[in-house]
Structures are given as C-alpha cells and as structure tokens.
A and B are shown apart, each in its own frame.
Chain A
Amino acid sequence: MNAPASTLLYSGSDWNFDTLQRIYEACENIAIGELDLNVYPNRIEVITSEQMLDAYASTGMPIFYKHWSFGKQFLANDLLYRKGLRGLAYELVINSDPCISYVMEENSATMQTLVIAHAAFGHNHFFKNNYVFRQWTDAEGILDYLEFARHYIARCEERHGQAEVERVLDSAHALMQQGIHRYPRAAPRNLNAERRREEDRRAYEESTYNALWRTLPNKKPTTRETRDMRQKSLGLPQENVLYFLEKSAPRLRGWQREILRIVRLIAQYFYPQRQTKVMNEGCAVWVHYNILKRLHETGQITEGAFLEFLHSHSNVLYQPTYDSGHYSGHNPYALGFGIMEDIERISRNPSDEDRTWFPDFAGCGDPIDVLKDAWANYRDESFIAQFLSPHLIRKWRLFKLDDREKDDEVRVAAIHDEQGYQDVRRTLARHHDVASLDPDIQIVDVDFDSDRKLMLEHTVRDRVLLQREDARQVLQHLADLWGYQVILTEVDAADRKTLNSYAIDPRPGIFY
C-alpha cells in the first residue's frame, strides 16, 4: 500500500538542501531511535565530482601536505574516470569528530539517502565504537594535526627547499608501512598534543644549543659494548623502522626527523582502516540497508526510489566466483554484510548446527545487541574467525587451495563440508590479518663500533620472499636516511636458514 504523499521525504530524483535536511532527520530517527547506534556529530558537505577526485588523491583527507605522488594519484584517477572505467565513489567519510561525510552534487535524492545512511551513520558508528579505532586514532585531533603537518612541511620547504623536503618525504613514504606500531602501548595518542610537543622540543633545542660543543673531540669508547647492552639501549629489535630512524639515525637533522614522525603518525592513523575494512564496510552496508528498508516500510520513500536503492545496493554486494573472469579477490562489502546478515539470522532463527557453532547468541532474539558487540570488539581477522558460519561457507561454496612452490599442481585442501569448515574459516581469517600479510621486517642490530651498518631481518613465512626490485629501492631509501650501509637478511621462519640478503650503500649527496 502506498503511503499518502505527505509522508514522502522527496519525489523524483532531484534534491535540495531542505530535502537533505529531511532525509538526514528521517535517517537519524531510525539510526538512533530504532537501531540504537552511537555516533559522532555529523557534518555533511556537498562537493562536485572534480572535488571528489581531489579528495581521492590525498587519501580522502580534506587537508594534506603537498607531494607529487598525490598529483600522480589524481592524474591516474582522472583518466579512469574520464574513460568511464571507474565511477567515483558516491561518498567519502572521514574518521573525525565531527564526522565529515562528502556527498556529490550529481547523486540523485535516493543516492543521497543511501550515502547519508551508509556514511553518516554506518561508518560513523563503527569509527566511534570499534576498539582498534578507539585505541589508535584520535578523531578529535586529526584535522588539527593534518593542519599542523601541512604547515610544518610548507615551512620546511621555505627553509630548506622543496627538493630537500621531497627527498625526505619520498624515503619516508617508501617506509610508511614499516612505520606502524602494531601492538598497543599504554597511552592512546593525542594528536593535538603532538603539535605542542614538537614546538616545545624545538624551543628546547634552540635554547640549549651551544656551538662550543661541536668542537669537542669525539670520545673514544673505552669498553666495547656487548650486543645485548647495545640492543637494549637502542630498543632493538624494532619493527617500526621509521620510529627507529627518527630516534636513532645518527646524521638526520631535526626537521627531517619531524617529517619522519609526521609520516609515521599518519600511517598509524590509517592502520585501523586496513585492519577493519571488511567489518567497517559490512557495518555501513548493514546500517544503510536497514535504514532504507524502514524508510520504505514506513512509506517515506517511493517504490521507485526503493528499487533504485536496491539496484545500487546489489551492485555493491556483487561477488564474482573464482572462475568468472571478473574475480579479483573477496569483496569486503559482500563478506562483511553477508556475515552480519547471518548473525541476524542465527540470533532470530537458528538451526541446530548454528546452536552448536554459536552457543553464545544463537536464538537470543536480539541481533542488534550481538552486532554492536561485534562492531565494537573485533577486527577483520577475529571477526571472520569468530562469526563465519558453515551456512555461509556452503552458501558461497568456499574452498581452500594449497599452492606449494615445488609442485606443478595445486591441491584442494578443504571444501564446504564438515571436515573443511574450520580450515576454510581459519585460512580466510588469516588472509584478513594485516599484520601477517605485511612482511615481517625488523631492525635487529647496529654495528656502532666500526662502520655503523644497520642490520635488518625479514622473517620469511612460507618461503615467500620480498619482491626484489622493490626491496632494493626501499632499502636504498633506508640507507640514504640512515647514512651508512644497510643489510637486510631474509631468514626462514622455520629453520632460521638465510634465504637471501641485500647490502645497500647510501647514495652520497642525497641527505649528507
């Protein structure tokens, strides 16, 4: 039955700012009132497609420092967009307080509804409640910090020249994924305070600088330090290469260290997004689906609008099978939303199998409570390991292949049957563990007595080595920053045998 026209939020596809306001309020009523979500205050910004391309190029951030690689990003996206090879995302959302969602002016009213439900409530709730984000990101401070970073780097360019700064940034970017603390420490970072700390640090250095000290002869070390003492004093082994360089690289100047720090903190800020992609997108899709469904049920949007929504919704959830030619890995939207829908089913309407697998919540009747717990306390790896059900493994017909380097054939290790469920689930979970996907590289030692060689070790799992050319180039950047030779050894995790090694000397004249 069609509702009377007066309850409709909009008709047709045109929208204006009043429509947006009405749509937002209707979504909010459902999100807060019925789904009981907990969100940061929202800010919605209307932008053009060109501005969306701009935002894409600087990792979605409204403020960012200047660097050529963002220009490269822009040109690449621009070409794909012009050729129609890639549509633009309808939305972009920033983990900040207030939470900023960009919507494009080209969207239809239905798409704006979808975007507001998806970003302003789905992602927003996830950002605010998930433990990884709570631990590692500072939604309140991020925009101020980016503003600081941009100013700091611009000032460095004035003082030291654009080329000099660009070299540091290039090298820092190459090591960005090696600039993350993967395990939490006591205090969460407050990015607002970071800026003040930097200012204090420099003020202190300036006030205590005494040119006389430079003329003191270097004292010869009286005793040879033991390896243990040395490692302890340097905090080795250290997996955060950027952090180590910032603190211990012997020849870097203060501003160069600060730039490494900026890149490192930004990498850290984005790390939670990499760890929770499946959940974050799944949460946003689940929220927009339920909000739109309710809007339709209560007669606030037309049948046509609901059909338009369903069309986009199912496009987003499209998961090709491995042999379809369109296959390019698991679609995080489909995976996340699929599991969340399944949680709903198990909570309301479980089978005997579900009761055995999920005794904690099968048949509890309150799926939103279960979901909110999952959104708050898991990341992709643990989420899949905990919630991927045999029902879904059968539905998606998941199977596992073992691919051994020395064999010409791959072996089907598990399929969707009793014996296979656990194995498939465990493997898929591991594939979503960012920490185990990134190569495990640590700084193990520094030869401080003679030529200050920096020793790194790559612990090789499953005999998967580093891609050679890239590794060589990254190590070149590392050697340039360090100022002395850098040695990387690839060591087999199982038997500690050396599989490969690199030794790279710094290029003279790059930094020193």
Chain B
Amino acid sequence: MHIIDRRLNPRGKSLVNRQRFLRRARDTVRGAVRDSLTSRKIREIESEGEVSIKTGGITEPTFRRDSHSGNRDHVLPGNRVFRTGDRIKRPPSSSGGGGSEAGTGEGEDEFRFVLSREEFLDLFLEDLELPDLAKRRLTGSDSFDIRRAGYTTSGSPSSLSVPRTMRNAMSRRLALRRPTSAEIEDLEKEIARLEAKARPTEKDRATLDALRERLVVLNRRRTLISYIDPIDLRYRRFEQERRPISQAVIFCLMDVSGSMNEHMKELAKIFFILLYLFVTRCYRHVEIVFIRHTDSAQEVDEETFFYSTETGGTRVSSALEEMLAVVKDRYSPLDWNIYLAQASDGDNFTRDNVQTTALMRNEILPIVQYAAYLEVSNPPSGGVPGDDRATSLWQAYSEIGEAGGKFAMRRVHSRKDIYPVFRDLFSRRGTAAHVS
C-alpha cells in the first residue's frame, strides 16, 4: 500500500475548465457583472462575488422523461395511515417524485457561482476597457525619508558616534591588557619608596631592578597599544527610505435635494464606482467619504447617501465646507491624496455661487489631486437632445476653468455617456482639453 501526499500538487487543476466556461458564457456573465454595478455597494465592487446568469447557452440537455405526463408508480417509506385501496388527492406540483425522479435537474433556469476578484475585475474592466489612464502621474511622486540604519566603520567626522567608538576602544584595551595609569603610578611609587631607603639591603636592590624593568615593559606596552585606534571608530549610518504615497481618500459629494431623482443618482453612483476602481488601482489604501447636502451638508454612510431623498433648497457651498472640515479633522493633505467627485443637477442658490466658486478655487483645488464635477440630468426624451441650457452651478464653475488640469466638469444624460466622460476626465493632462 502506498500513501501519497498530493497536497502540494499544482493547484487549480480545473482552472482551464473554469476559464472555458467563463469564455463560453462570456456575454451573459459580462452582462451580469455589468448589472451588478448598480446593485453592489462601492466597496464591494472589487471583491469577489456571486453572480447568477440565465442558463441559455450553457445548458446540457439529455433525453429525459417528462415528469408531468404518463402513468407511474412510486414506492415511498414511512406509511402510517394508508391501507390498500385508499385514494389520496394528488399533491400539487407532483412533489411525490419517488426514487425514479430524484435528481433529474429540473428547474435549473438560473445558474449561480462565485467569480474571483480577478475574474470579476477582468470582465468588468474588459467591458469598460479602462485604460492605464494617468496612473504614472499619480504613482510617480514617491517621497523619501532619511532613517537611521545602524553603524558603519567609515563616514564623515560629523556622524562619528562617540559613545560607540569609546566603547569599542575600551573593550580593545581590556582585551589586549593595556596597562592603566593607576598601575604605572603604583609601580613608580614603589620604586620611589625603595630608592628613598637610606640603607637598601641586597634584597631591596634586586626588587628595585625587577620593578624598574617591569616599568619599562609596561610603558612600552602603553605606547604600543593606543588609547583610541582607528579600528575603534564607528559612524552613524543613514539610509534613504522610499515612502510611496500609498493612501488616498475620495470625497463623494452629492446634491440630494428633491430635484435629484433615482436616474440621476444612478448615474452618479456609476461614476463614483469608476472613480473608486480607478483610484484603488493606484493606491494601496483608499477611503471614501460620502457627503450629501441640501441647503446644509452632512457626512453619511453609503446607504443613506444613495437611497434617501431629502427636500429643501440647495446650497452647494455647504458640502464644500463640510469636506474641508473633514479634511482638517482626519485627512491631512500632507499624508493623503485627496480626490473630489461631485455630482449635482446643477441647481444652486444664485447667491451661493460666488461662495462656492471661491471655496473651490481657493481652498479645495490647492489641496486635492483632482476634482471632477459631474452634472447629471434626465435622459433626452423622444430624440430631442437633453436640456443643454447652462445651469447656475455650471456657469459658476465655468469661471474656474481647467485650473492647471486639476478641475474638470462634464455633463451626462444616460448611462452610456458615463464611461466616455470618465475616460475623458482621467486621461493624461493636456488631452482632456475639450468640453463635451
């Protein structure tokens, strides 16, 4: 008998088959993935997830007997009440299947499975053909830190480590038994004492000779073994450390006053998701802050952000103020890459526009990497293009202009507009010159 450990065999033996299945069902799966755009939460978008598709194209038919026609008999266990000849009302939907019908795979009109994160993103982004965009620009700006990294034997005098050098010297002196000053002083005292004797004996003279000899040896030893030697020197070592800018925060600002309908919110949501996907590809750690506003603004969770409606006036500057407050509180512009995505239908109190523009230009644009304003409107009806009349917010923001490539504004009517607009917004600096 052999026991074989197969656990270390290459994994994913069925990977090929899995890929073939996905390829075969690609169109349906892609549709399902795309649909999940609107149902998934933004944070879930990138995780692995369950997808269900209709089985069209992936059924595997076989000849099987129709379970609704014909005469059949069943043998069942557990009779407690029946006698031969009893008649029983047929149970609805022929549930008493008996052994012969078990597992004929009926009602298999939906197929559910889990896609891995990579598979999901592949299908999602394949559909969108998300280009490399401005990745390089965003990730190229690593900063450097100087950090101590132990000791070295060479360096500039300014980085000499005195304690470390002295410690080395002392251990060397101890190891090589360099005579201390105290030892020599004691010896000299002894010699002086013997020399001072008026009538030295024969023994004293002999001792004196030996002591003198010893003093010579010790003094020679002292000159040979130096107090501090070049090999004792130690210098502090410094290293430059690369510190990638690894965190980003996205501010999602949305007008939720009564004029924003579900259609507009959906457009906004898709836009925010795209932005999230894009930024998570550039940074290791991404946070999202949702701020909604009517005539006053507050930070909310995702659920509230997308699914609640408020009524009231609109004061866009309130949202910008709230954002600045959050930045001040938690996201120092020194440590965080800040992105702003703002969606609105463009209605604003006329007298608020000046304030809004000023906040945007003077306070926000200096601290963010990028700010995008997305104006959402109702789909064009009956072939008539959407209402392109400039809204008050649009007019106000138009004054800001491109602001060195940091600010962009676009208007969308329907889902299919979003991707081109997104691509336009995030393509390399200088290529996003025209306004749709």
Contacts and interface: CB of A to CB of B under 8 A. Distances in A.
A397 B1 contact: no
A319 B16 CA distance: 38
Interface stretch (B19-27, B185-193, B241-249, B273-281): B19-27
Given A329-B102, A330-B77, A415-B79, A409 B89 contact: yes
Contacts of A51: 6-7, 9, 11, 13
Interface stretch (A172-180, A190-198, A206-214, A292-300): A172-180
A399 B75 contact: yes
Given A51-B7, A79-B114, A398 B79 contact: yes
B69 A465 contact: yes
Interface stretch (B54-62, B140-148, B349-357): B54-62
Given A428-B75, A431-B100, A474-B63, A68 B20 contact: yes
A471 interface: yes
A468 interface: yes
Interface residues of A, number: 99
Interface string A417-432: 1011000100110011
Nearest to A63: B13
Nearest to B75: A428
B328 interface: no
A98 B61 CA distance: 35
Interface string B69-94: 11111111111101111111110000
Given A69-B21, A329-B98, A401-B96, A43 B77 contact: no
Contacts of A174: 60-62
Interface stretch (A1-9, A70-78, A222-230): A70-78
Contacts of A349: none
A103 to B, nearest CB: 9
Contacts of B100: 431, 437
Contact of A322 (B11, B76, B103): B76
Contacts of A431: 75, 98-100
B220 interface: no
Contact of A400 (B22, B64, B75, B97): B75
A415 B82 contact: yes
B3 interface: yes
A137 to B, nearest CB: 22
Interface string A313-345: 000000111111001111000000000000000
B66 A441 contact: no
A419 B84 contact: yes
B279 to A, nearest CB: 29
Contact of B76 (A98, A105, A399, A409): A399
A457 interface: no
A54 interface: yes
Given A176-B62, A411-B85, A398 B3 contact: no
Nearest to A324: B78
Nearest to B62: A177
A439 B13 CA distance: 35
B99 A79 contact: no
A238 interface: no
Nearest to A399: B79
A402 B82 CA distance: 13
A412 B78 CA distance: 13
Contact of B71 (A53, A322, A405): A405
Given A72-B21, A432-B99, A467-B67, A412 B7 contact: no
B21 A410 contact: no
B82 A322 contact: no
Interface residues of B, number: 65
Contacts of A413: 73, 84
A17 B86 contact: no
Contacts of B97: 328-329
Given A47-B6, A51-B13, A321-B78, A402 B88 contact: no
Contact of B78 (A70, A323, A437): A323
B85 A57 contact: no
A45 B3 CA distance: 6
Interface stretch (A20-28, A125-133, A356-364): A20-28
A467 B14 CA distance: 31
Given A71-B19, A76-B111, A415-B84, A401 B74 contact: yes
A470 interface: yes
Interface in A64-98: 66-72, 74-76, 78-79, 82, 98
A466 B75 contact: no
B381 interface: no
A438 B20 CA distance: 30
Interface in B94-129: 96-103, 111-114
Interface centre among A50, A327, A401, A438 (most CB of B within 10 A): A401
A464 interface: yes
B156 interface: no
A24 B59 CA distance: 43
A396 interface: yes
A290 interface: no
B99 A43 contact: no
B5 A17 contact: yes
A416 interface: yes
A473 B61 contact: yes
Contacts of B390: none
A327 B4 CA distance: 39
Nearest to A439: B63
A320 B77 CA distance: 8
A70 B16 CA distance: 9
Interface string A151-174: 000000000000000100010011
5 contacts: A68-B23, A166-B24, A173-B60, A413-B73, A432-B99
Given A46-B5, A66-B17, A329-B102, 9 more contacts: A46-B3, A51-B11, A67-B17, A71-B19, A329-B98, A415-B82, A431-B75, A462-B70, A471-B61
Interface of B: 1-7, 9, 11-14, 16-24, 50, 58-67, 69-80, 82-90, 96-103, 111-114
> What are the 6 closest A-B residue pairs judged by CB atoms, nearest first?
A321-B78, A464-B70, A329-B102, A71-B21, A71-B17, A75-B113
